[in-house]
Amino acid sequence: MLNSIALSTDQKILFLIDDGDAVAYSLEEGDGVVLGLLGDQLTAATAHDNSSSELPISLNTSTTQWQIMYVPAAKALYIIGVPKDGFTTEDSRSIGSTDIDPGRSIGSTDIDPGRSIGSTDIDPGRSIGSTDIDPGITGEDDQELDIHFDLSTMVIILVMDGDLIKIKTQPK
């Protein structure tokens, strides 16, 4: 099953990964890349249609590093952003080498539920449906943005425009 997807480090190429093979799609060429489902498989193709609805957000690649992830069980495509300049020590939610006590093991009850992302942790109001264009932006200036798309109801199109990746949607 096709279920791995990634952006290149320069964020200009989308890779669809299947059984160890990666197919590259340029976000700069033509009308971008369309992502959707064919049956239960994630698919990508060069976009050739300008009739899609553009969302009121764009992914700024000059200030934020973006990543894409597909979750097959939910048929959801997630786009997650982290500021390129990183987090300050006070703001950091990552675990550093000094945060782990080597004398104790970490069990499932040691995980702060506020920091994990489970199926009940996703705010359904942040999902983008074919008639819902509120992306539920978190963070300031589109930093730490995380949104998801229900690919069972739509396809999305990603197209590069300068330092921005514009997001468009189209109902299935």
Q: What is the pLDDT of residue 87?
A: 62
Report d(CA 45, CA 50) in Å as an integer.
14
Q: What is the pLDDT of residue 51?
A: 74
Which 8-state DSSP code applies to residue 95? P
Q: What is the pLDDT of residue 93?
A: 53
pTM, to two decimals: 0.67
pLDDT digit of tens for each residue in the chain (172 aa)?
557 899 999 999 999 998 878 999 999 998 899 999 998 889 999 998 767 788 888 899 999 999 999 999 999 999 998 888 876 555 545 555 444 445 544 454 444 444 444 433 434 444 444 334 344 444 444 445 678 899 999 999 999 999 999 999 988 8
Q: What is the pLDDT of residue 43?
A: 93
Q: What is the pLDDT of residue 84?
A: 86
Which 8-state DSSP code applies to residue 96? P
Which residue ranges make up each domain of the chain? 4-88+118-171
Q: What is the pLDDT of residue 25?
A: 96
Burial class (CB in 10 A: 0-12, 13-18, 19+), 118: exposed
Q: What is the pLDDT of residue 89?
A: 52
Q: What is the pLDDT of residue 131?
A: 38
Count CA atoms within 13 Å of residue 91 on its CB side: 10
